[in-house]
Amino acid sequence: MALGTALEGLRVLDFSQIGAGPTIGMLLGDMGAEVVKIESPGGDLGRALGPPWLDGDSVVAMSFNRNKRGLSLDLKQPAAVDAVRRMAARADIVVESFRPGVMAKLGVGYDALAAINPRLVWVAVTAFGQDGPWADRPGVDGVVQALSGLMSQIGVEGAEPCKVQVPAVDLTTGFLGTMAVLAALRERDRTARGQYLDVSMYNASLMLQASGLASYMASGEVPKRIGSAAPYAAPNEAYRTADGWMMVAAYQPPRWKALCGLLGLEALVDDPRFAGNDARVRNRAALREALEARLAARATADWLPEMERLDIMCAPVADYAQVVASEQFAHARAAVEVPHRTGPVRLAGFLVGDRDTQARVRHAPPALGEHTREVLADYGFDAAEIDALLATRAAIGPQEAGR
């Protein structure tokens, strides 16, 4: 079965905003689930993230929301709350990213909806979890990068703090949350009951840093920021060449010896400072000085074929323009095309599975309330009921969204 159709027949109500929760909904949609993005009349907060913009639409928000249909409901109105309850009876999965307790206060929390449909798998995404000392604290990707220690590992010693520029914590949370949903669905196959999943961005960031945290807890040494280098292997970092930078990973003995031979530095092989990986890590500064003195004499393009011939792992440090233009990017079918009123838009796609069965786009990222009437009809509302919801603005359609 193709991954793009693996979850066909499952229905997802996605109330989440910004990045982490929407990633879960998007990945489930990529795998074939029918995902409804449910937004307030004001829309997902992620719609305000930019630049860049496409005729006023956030490209960042678009990148988290393909393969969903859009429904807008005003959950401050009882009729909208009743609509969600009716929809929950037919749904399989709920994704939400409100602060703890908010959904319950609106009348559509887990207890209320699970009483209607005990098979619901509920995914609650928060910055710091549903309970504990930080449960009530708000947080976004950058805040969690700071509090989880990730930001302390990015950049070089003595420079200002840096964050991973892509929303690494949002995405990691989304990937792990999706994995938890799939496990919960497997459990539901055995028990016929859903469950409540507490998915914390903070916890996800700690899991992302498993090797770094394990190293600290074993040694008691707070690691320093070392730029492109790996704290556990050397040489394994970006070095300056005559015209730019290249990444070299030659810490395994055969590759280390081959690199020394290529650079005319055979004496380093027996130098006690560099005799093994542990020694090279401890003497990284001296090692870097010796290697870069030779690497800086020639252009990156000159070094690459020679290193590849010797099976030395290496790469130019590519920018996004070079990445998107590369033959590997094209081979991976990494970009998917979605329709938009300004013309086709290319987004990064779902790249799991082989190239012939990986998921493709079935729905473009929806405009606010774009499919309100269609979705409600699919969930059993008749035309009169839909008209009444729209007339009272308990539900918002695309025409009403801009008012």
CB 149 within 8 A of CB 217: no
Q: Please return the burial class of 237, using the count of CB atoms within 10 Å of its CB with bins 0-12, 13-18 and 19+.
A: buried
Q: Tell me which of 170, 243, 319, 382 is the catalytic residue.
A: 170
**Rounded Cα distance, 44 and 64, in Å:** 11
Angle at the Cα of 325 from the Cα atoms of 324 and 329, rounded to 5 degrees: 55
The token pair at 155 is: 């950049």
- H/E/C letters for each residue in the chain? CCHHHCCCCCEEEECCCCCHHHHHHHHHHHCCCEEEEEECCCCCHHHHCCCCEECCEEHHHHCCCCCEEEEEECCCCHHHHHHHHHHHCCCCEEEECCCCCHHHHCCCCHHHHHHHCCCCEEEEEECCCCCCCCCCCCCCHHHHHHHCCCHHHCCECCCCCCCCCCCHHHHHHHHHHHHHHHHHHHHHHHHCCCCEEEEEHHHHHHHHCHHHHHHHHHHCCCCCCECCCCCCCCCEEEEECCCCEEEEECCCHHHHHHHHHHCCCHHHHHCHHHCCHHHHHHCHHHHHHHHHHHHCCCCHHHHHHHHHHCCCEEEECCCHHHHHHCHHHHHCCCEEEECCCCCCEEEECCCCCCCCCCCCCCCCCCCCCCCHHHHHHHCCCCHHHHHHHHHCCCEECHHHHCC
Can 270 be counted among the known catalytic residues?
no
The encoded tokens of residue 256 equal: 């280390």
Rg value, the chain, Cα:
25
315, two tokens: 């790469």
Enzyme catalytic residues: 170
